[in-house]
């Protein structure tokens, strides 16, 4: 009931006396608010809600009762409403939101997602792929460089990846390579997404130079064994070769240090050698051969892989049998890890980007790859030996830092030591009489 209006029409008497004179209103005669959590009376007989909820219903454009009740029940709770989108757009944004949740790297606040949904709905498209990435950047330019545009571009990218697929057959024709979609390339989580996930060729204006740059990068990313650890190479599976859509070979292996599977691109020459090794293994162990390099001794059934120690002893025997020597004419000393070390140092000394080297070595962070970096004055030795040190340089630097001359190198000669100063300085001290007299030169 509108008691205030009735009280005003009565001449504004004393509220207590006026209320006592009014007849009592029974609760059974008045309807309550139509919202399940509100027990206030309606304002009049024609209203469905109380005064405040009727005002909100009017401000929302007087929607349907069920829709308004659902809106009030969800008010104050984090939610995303996909009802404004068409069927295809709804599925695409739901997939993008699920991908963002599975990545567990960046949050997707409901206001950000709702803004992207509203922008896509106002664009009048049936799918995110109806526009290219540049067009979506232009439409979201008002929110550039933040969460809002970032989620929209993320949705476009994951939908495009789902539509086109992954692998070199998809990425090579593109002017911007998405490295995170290529098999075997593990990205570094410490870098920003744009810096670590993409190689950009669109900024090269000359078409012939862009094509050469693509071929060079493809060759760098798919040449050789890519610095595989010896322990990982010894335990390679027999069927370690896989191919992408274009038939390019990859080596699948288990990274024991990081405890994960990985795949690295290899060249055709290495693929031929692996095929030959598979034929040799299958000829010796025709029944079961789970390993590409089975142990050569104590392995009658072919179930045991080659151990790291066996490989290292075989490498030492090969060096001795071939009489391999370093630049000083001494027998070369080589450990299996120096193959990987030399591979990394050669790439870095040839100005290959450190991020590319990190990907090829399957390192977790760039700090691990930085250990292989060398200055131009101290390049890595190709044969695994350390560069010789200059004795004069070392001695001079030591004398400069310590303020005294270092000990001479070479065999020592017995010389008389000068007498030590006496601590007691008394006539009865035995060191005065025992000290030899220095002979004049």
pLDDT in tens, 346-379: 777 777 777 777 777 777 777 777 776 654 434 4
> 227: pLDDT confidence band, cut at 50, 70 and 90?
low
pLDDT tens digits, 31-83? 778 777 787 777 777 777 887 888 888 888 888 888 888 878 777 677 788 88
Look at residue 264 and give its three-state secondary structure: strand
Distance of alpha carbon 302 from alpha carbon 270, whole angstroms: 23
Distance of alpha carbon 296 from alpha carbon 300, whole angstroms: 9
**E-strand spans in 227-315?**
241-243, 249-255, 260-265
147-164 helix and 87-103 helix, angle to the nearest 10 degrees: 100
> Tokens in use for 418?
């000068």
> 190: pLDDT confidence band, cut at 50, 70 and 90?
very low
Distance of CA 331 to the CA centre of its chain: 42
Q: How confident is the model at residue 63, as a pLDDT?
A: 85
pLDDT tens digits, 259-295? 677 777 777 888 888 999 999 999 988 888 898 889 8
Q: Which residues contact 65 (CB under 8 A, 6 or more apart)?
A: 34, 48
Look at residue 431 and give its three-state secondary structure: helix
**Angle of CA points 254, 258, 259, to nearest 5°:** 55
Distance of CA 295 to the CA centre of its chain: 36
Q: Which residues contact 5 (CB under 8 A, 6 or more apart)?
A: none
Cβ 342 vs Cβ 382: under 8 Å = yes
Tell me what the pLDDT averaged over the chain comes to.
Answer: 74
> Tokens in use for 21?
């004179």
DSSP label at 179?
A: G
Among 334, 357, 336, smallest CA distance to 346 is for: 357
Distance of alpha carbon 20 from alpha carbon 24, whole angstroms: 9
Among 179, 178, 175, 177, smallest CA distance to 205 is for: 175
Distance of alpha carbon 161 from alpha carbon 174, whole angstroms: 13
**Residues 186-195: contacts with CB under 8 Å, at least 24 apart:** 186/262, 186/359, 186/362, 186/364, 187/359, 188/355, 188/358, 188/363, 188/364, 188/365, 188/366, 189/105, 190/365, 190/366, 191/355, 191/366
Q: Which residue do the tokens 């179930």 mark? A: 303
DSSP conformation letters of 348-403:
HHTT--HHHHHHHHT-SSHHHHHTT---TTSPPPTTSPPPPPPHHHHHHHHHHHHS
């Amino acid at each position: 009931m509108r008691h205030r209006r009735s009280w005003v029409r009565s001449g504004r008497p004393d509220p207590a006396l006026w209320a006592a004179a009014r007849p009592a209103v029974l609760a059974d005669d008045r309807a309550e608010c139509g919202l399940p959590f509100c027990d206030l009376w309606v304002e009049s007989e024609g209203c469905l809600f109380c005064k405040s909820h009727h005002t909100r219903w009017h401000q929302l454009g007087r929607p349907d009762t069920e829709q308004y009740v659902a809106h009030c029940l969800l008010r104050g709770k984090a939610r995303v409403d996909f009802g404004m989108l068409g069927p295809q757009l709804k599925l695409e944004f739901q997939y993008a939101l699920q991908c963002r949740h599975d990545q567990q790297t960046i949050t997707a606040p409901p206001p950000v997602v709702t803004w992207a949904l509203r922008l896509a709905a106002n664009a009048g498209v049936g799918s995110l792929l109806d526009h290219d990435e540049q067009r979506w950047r232009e439409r979201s330019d008002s929110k550039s460089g933040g969460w809002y545009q970032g989620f929209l571009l993320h949705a476009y990218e994951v939908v495009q990846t789902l539509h086109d697929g992954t692998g070199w057959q998809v990425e090579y024709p593109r002017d911007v390579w998405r490295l995170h979609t290529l098999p075997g390339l593990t990205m570094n989580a410490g870098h920003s997404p744009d810096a670590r996930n993409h190689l950009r060729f669109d900024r090269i204006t000359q078409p012939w130079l862009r094509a050469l740059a693509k071929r060079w990068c493809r060759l760098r990313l798919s040449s050789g064994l890519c610095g595989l650890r010896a322990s990982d190479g010894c335990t390679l599976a027999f069927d370690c070769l896989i191919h992408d859509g274009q038939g390019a070979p990859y080596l699948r292996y288990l990274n024991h240090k990081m405890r994960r599977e990985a795949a690295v691109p290899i060249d055709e020459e290495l693929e031929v050698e692996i095929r030959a090794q598979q034929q040799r293994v299958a000829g010796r162990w025709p029944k079961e051969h789970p390993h590409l390099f089975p142990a050569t001794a104590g392995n009658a059934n072919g179930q045991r892989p080659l151990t790291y120690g066996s490989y290292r002893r075989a490498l030492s025997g090969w060096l001795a049998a071939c009489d391999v020597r370093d630049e000083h004419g001494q027998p070369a000393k080589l450990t299996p890890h120096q193959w990987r070390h030399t591979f990394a140092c050669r790439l870095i000394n040839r100005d290959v980007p450190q991020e590319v080297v990190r990907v090829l070595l399957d390192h977790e962070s760039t700090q691990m790859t930085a250990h292989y970096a060398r200055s131009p004055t101290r390049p890595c030795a190709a044969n695994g030996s350390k560069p010789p040190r200059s004795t004069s340089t070392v001695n001079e630097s030591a004398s400069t830092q310590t303020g005294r001359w270092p000990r001479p190198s070479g065999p020592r000669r017995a010389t008389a030591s000068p007498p030590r100063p006496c601590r007691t300085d008394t006539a009865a001290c035995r060191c005065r009489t025992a000290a030899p007299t220095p002979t004049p030169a």
